[in-house]
Amino acid sequence: MNFTLRVWRQDGPTTSGRFEEYPAKNIPDEASFLEMLDIVNEELEKAGKESVQFDHDCREGICGMCSLTINGVPHGPGRGTTCQLYMRKFQDGDVITIEPFRVGAFPILRDLAVNRTALDKVIQAGGFITARTGSAPDANSVPIPKVIADESMDAAACIGCGACAAACPNSSAMLFVSAKAAHLGLLPQGKPESERRTVRMVRTMDDLGFGNCSNYYACEAVCPAGISASFIARLNRQYTSAAAREAVGATTI
């Protein structure tokens, strides 16, 4: 298969960027999108040109580092991460536009690689519990209804790739924040910090420059883990309640 790539090139976060075109020739249809970029980079290096910089790690759909916007869609067509996207999803001769995630809170490091430290800062604000660590407790020592355990596990599936913010017209990270708050807050071990976690994580998200949710549902559409936007509604209810209690002095955040 042969393609024409329109790739965003940018030398650093403070420099201006531009699109450059590269041919991608003789690409196997079973190659992943990242493997296709590897092949293109090998040809660029043979020609004495600088390779395209992009982020990746596990290439197994787990880490979420392969944060590319492909033809305007974070992670490209279909449900999954960029490393799980295969070239058979495209037609021979297609022109493919590749950009980094366009989120103000994710400054571009170089070319297609962005700095997603902002998500780490949101986690640091409240993504933890104060339960004692050490030896594993007995499985039946804290009874948890299966429906609650299942909902918590659904939220915990979030890999923190940032595609939700990249897809949102407001660059909102509410799907990410709501999932991280829910998977801890639903379980009894995470209840003591529930109010503080909710308020601190939402306020940190705002301080870092992410926008607010306007119910476009673009986040849910591109999430590779299939996180439901219903978690955002849950977070909004929790935040309203916790902020009101803080305002009247009923709790300390």
**Structural domains of the chain, ranges and CATH numbers in brackets:** 3-110 (3.10.20.30), 117-247 (1.10.1060.10)
Q: Would you give the distance in Å from CA 8 to the centre of its chain?
A: 20
Cα torsion through 47, 52, 57, 60, rounded to 10: -90
pLDDT band at 139, cuts 50/70/90? Answer: low
- For residues 103 and 171, is the Cβ–Cβ distance under 8 A? yes
User: Residues 183-213: pLDDT tens digits?
Assistant: 999 999 899 999 999 999 999 999 999 999 9
Using CA atoms, how far apart are residues 115 and 158, in angstroms rounded to an integer?
A: 18
Is residue 153's pLDDT more than 90? yes
User: Residues 40-62: pLDDT tens digits?
Assistant: 999 999 999 999 999 999 999 99
Tell me if the pTM is above 0.85.
Answer: yes
Burial of 9 per CB tally in 10 Å (0-12, 13-18, 19+): middle
